[in-house]
Amino acid sequence: MKVKRIVANIETADPAIVARFYREVLGLELLMDHGWIATYGTQDRMPLQVSFASEGGSGTPVPGLSVEVDDVEAAYAAVLEGGYAVEYGPADEPWGVRRFFVRDPAGTLVNIVMHT
């Protein structure tokens, strides 16, 4: 298993309210918008992204980090092997990802995700 991307997720009651700052002020592109989460970044080889969310999707809390992996099942096995409690999933989500949530040792809720 190798990490492909890490995305910070920042909770906000209204994800659209930050659009002006990130799109017009910083010049980032809107990469994804599901209504409850909007992701801004670039299409560059080394993507820069920050997401603002009112929920974590499927009624879950907003995770502090999203870590994209190439093999979510291997990551899941490693988390269980490490003795960490999975708080959500694994789940196949309607927006085309398979993911699960786990807390890191500092208490940050982490979304481990793979695009399907």
pLDDT in tens, 69-97: 999 999 999 999 999 999 999 999 999 99
The two tokens of residue 12 are: 């906000």
The two tokens of residue 110 are: 């982490």
**13: confidence class by pLDDT, cuts 50, 70, 90:** confident
**What are the pLDDT digits (tens) for 23-59?**
987 889 999 999 999 999 988 877 678 899 999 999 9
Report CA-CA distances (Å) from 66 to 24, 25, 97. Answer: 25, 24, 12
Cβ atoms < 10 Å from Cβ of 51 = 22
CA atoms within 13 A on the CB side of 46: 0
Pick the CATH number of 3-115 from 3.40.47.10, 3.30.830.10, 3.40.50.2000, 3.10.180.10: 3.10.180.10
Q: Report the alpha-carbon distance of residue 108 to residue 98 in Å, rounded.
A: 20
Assess contact for 37 and 66: CB atoms under 8 A. Answer: no
Q: Report the alpha-carbon distance of residue 11 to residue 43 in Å, rounded.
A: 23
Q: How big is the chain by its Cα radius of gyration, in Å?
A: 14
| Structure confidence at residue 108 (pLDDT) | 92
**6: confidence class by pLDDT, cuts 50, 70, 90:** confident
Length reported for the chain: 116
Sorted by where each begins, the domain ranges of the chain are: 3-115
